């Protein structure tokens, strides 16, 4: 029995040694947004602008197809660099805050959008939107083992989404405080053909649940503010414009009433925080949005330029020159 244990120990040691050796010549694919951030920090960038697809999505009809952070960069002499990725959210921004806090080089200002749709079950609980690989790379303090064992651990499912698809599908969908179905039922509207009923259901699915201060993304919001405050980094948060006119067409005045209730929760939570906060929720009419089939917050060039202008104004109040 003792000899078997020794053989297993030797075998395991050889496997670990070989995996470490292989890892030196087989670099793992890191997360692109983290690599961007590292390069910005190394270049002493003044402003880092995190965001989701609202920053980068453009319309085929746009003459100016610049992303929002590129428009903002053109408005100020200081350097503004974007870290955009579809479906990024406050929970991930909080981890980026911790990551930046651990670096020697840091930006003067960090900008982040708050997307009301990110609190919906499809975005909050969807397994692909947990971004577990990003979470691992942003929080792991020993990259040696990560580099060496990432591939084999991936094969054995170590990095599978932290929320299972079954748990996601059974999650409740709310209209206000009333449960009106499950994710499984509402996802069927999005995967089937586009119908009037499905479009109305998507508005409920995306926007109509009552938001509370206990929501994990709002708690993450407070955490990231505290982290940046400790580093003397200015924070600008803004609620993204939404197509409120379309929402009202679908659900009547109760749509705007619920949205106002949710934005009020966020506004109240930020009242005593050391942060610059903009509420752009109702600032743009339907003509300035660029979406198909189901509503989202993607903007035309005018919409992106408008958001960049509002942010430039806030940067000017922080002492930045604005062209």
101: nearest Cα among 134, 69, 138: 138
User: Who wins on pLDDT, 136 or 196?
Assistant: 196
Q: With 70 as the cut, is the pLDDT of residue 97 above it?
A: yes
Q: Which residues contact 268 (CB under 8 A, 6 or more apart)?
A: 213
What φ, ψ does residue 292 adopt, rounded to 5°?
Answer: -125, 145
| Mean per-residue pLDDT, 81-103 | 97
Count CA atoms within 13 Å of residue 75 on its CB side: 23
User: Do strands 47-51 and 109-114 pair parallel, antiparallel, or not at all (unpaired)?
Assistant: parallel
User: Who wins on pLDDT, 31 or 289?
Assistant: 289
| Mean per-residue pLDDT, 138-143 | 68
Q: With 80 as the cut, is the pLDDT of residue 37 above it?
A: yes
User: Do strands 172-175 and 178-182 pair parallel, antiparallel, or not at all (unpaired)?
Assistant: antiparallel
List, in order of start, the domains of the chain with CATH numbers.
Answer: 35-148+166-317 (3.40.50.1110)
Q: With 90 as the cut, is the pLDDT of residue 21 above it?
A: no
* pLDDT score of 18: 44
User: Who wins on pLDDT, 276 or 149?
Assistant: 276
Confidence at 143, pLDDT banded by 50, 70, 90 = low
Cα of 205 vs its chain's centroid, Å: 18
Q: What pTM did the predictor assign?
A: 0.87
* pLDDT score of 28: 57
How many CB atoms are located within 10 Å of the residue 134 CB? 19
Confidence at 133, pLDDT banded by 50, 70, 90 = confident
Confidence at 282, pLDDT banded by 50, 70, 90 = very high
Confidence at 17, pLDDT banded by 50, 70, 90 = very low
- The least confident of 71-85, 154-168, 243-257, 281-295 is 154-168
Q: What share of the chain is helix, strand, coil (3-state, %, to 5)?
A: 55, 10, 35
Confidence at 6, pLDDT banded by 50, 70, 90 = low
């Amino acid at each position: 029995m003792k000899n078997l244990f020794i053989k297993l120990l030797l075998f395991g040691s050889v496997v670990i040694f070989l995996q470490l050796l292989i890892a030196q010549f087989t670099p793992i694919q890191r997360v692109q947004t983290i690599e961007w951030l590292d390069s910005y920090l190394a270049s002493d960038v003044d402003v880092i602008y995190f965001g989701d697809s609202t920053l980068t999505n453009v319309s085929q009809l746009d003459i100016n197809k610049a992303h929002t952070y590129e428009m903002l960069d053109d408005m100020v002499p200081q350097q503004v660099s974007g870290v955009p990725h579809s479906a990024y959210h406050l929970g991930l921004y909080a981890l980026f805050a911790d990551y930046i806090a651990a670096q020697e080089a840091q930006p003067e200002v960090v900008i982040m959008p708050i997307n009301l749709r990110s609190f919906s079950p499809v975005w909050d609980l969807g397994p692909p939107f947990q971004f577990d690989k990003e979470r691992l790379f942003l929080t792991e303090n020993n990259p040696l083992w990560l580099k060496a064992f990432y591939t084999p651990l991936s094969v054995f499912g170590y990095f599978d989404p932290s929320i299972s698809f079954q748990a996601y599908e059974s999650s409740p969908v709310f209209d206000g405080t009333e449960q009106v179905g499950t994710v499984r039922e509402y996802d069927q509207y999005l995967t089937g053909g586009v119908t009037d009923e499905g479009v109305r259901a998507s508005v409920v699915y995306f926007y109509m649940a009552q938001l509370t201060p206990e929501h994990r993304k709002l708690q993450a919001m407070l955490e990231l503010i505290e982290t940046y405050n400790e580093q003397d980094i200015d924070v600008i948060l803004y609620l993204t414009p939404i197509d409120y006119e379309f929402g009202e067409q679908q659900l009547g005045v109760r749509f705007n009433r619920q949205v106002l209730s949710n934005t009020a929760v966020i506004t109240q939570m930020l009242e005593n925080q050391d942060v610059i906060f903009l509420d752009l929720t109702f600032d743009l009419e339907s003509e300035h949005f660029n979406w198909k089939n189901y509503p989202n917050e993607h903007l035309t060039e005018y919409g992106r330029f408008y958001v960049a202008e509002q942010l430039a104004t806030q940067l000017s109040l922080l002492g930045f020159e604005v062209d």
